[in-house]
Amino acid sequence: MTRDEAIVASLAGVSGLALAALYVFPPARWFGWDETWGSTSRADLARPPGPMERLRIRWAGRVADAVRDEFGATSVNSWYRNPELNDAIGGSPTSFHMTGLGMDLQPASGSSEDWARYLHTRTDLPLDEVIWYGHKSHVHISVAPGFAPGKREFLYAYDPGDGSTKYSTWTP
């Protein structure tokens, strides 16, 4: 049994109240459950997250809150994606979005580069990967699972002119 499975099993053993808390209380101070799943392009495939994904979304929520605290209004482009939705929109088969630990956030103020610079300074956050897009306006953030420190890999994504997306290591 993995650590995550043990957490879910222990929730089931404690009471229905503990499990219900994953569905009632918001995942973060600034974000509601309705913002953590879904798709504007493929709403027909969107499914709400289960208990394990909800635990992970709560963990990732502290990073989303830190960005919101620093920059103000923040939109969620994508957070949790079930495997069918992830496949339909061309997501990576190993995407952290499918676990609830990956999110694409849209700045209302500051640029995606400003956000990446800020996240680079936040060594207290469990960042696994941060990608800022030069040709788009969002930042992809993957949060390390559990209490792992994370790889802290920072990437810059760009369109080389042929409509594709290329990635390069980035250091501010």
Q: Which amino acid is at 92?
A: S
Alpha helix stretches (DSSP H) within 25-121: 51-71, 83-88, 112-121
Distance CA 134, CA 10 (A): 43
pTM equals 0.85
What is the per-residue pLDDT for 136? 81
What pLDDT shows up at residue 6? Answer: 55
Residues 6+ apart with CB under 8 A from 160: 166
pLDDT score, position 134: 86
Residue 122 pLDDT: 94
The tokens describing 32, both together, are 């509601």
Sheet holding 153-158, edge to edge: 74-78, 102-107, 139-143, 127-133, 153-158, 166-169
pLDDT value at residue 126? 93
Cα end-to-end distance, the chain, whole Å: 40
What the block records as the tokens of 125 is 């956050």
Taken in order of first residue, the domains within the chain and their CATH numbers are 3-169 (3.30.1380.10)
Regions of the chain short of the pLDDT cut 70: 1-20
pLDDT the model gives residue 5? 55
Strand ranges (E), the chain: 74-78, 102-107, 127-133, 139-143, 153-158, 166-169
The pLDDT value recorded for residue 22 is: 74
When computed from its CA atoms, the radius of gyration of the chain, rounded to whole angstroms, is 16
Instruction: Please tell me the predicted confidence (pLDDT) of residue 60.
Output: 95
Q: What is the pLDDT of residue 107?
A: 82
Which pLDDT score is estimated for 110? Answer: 81
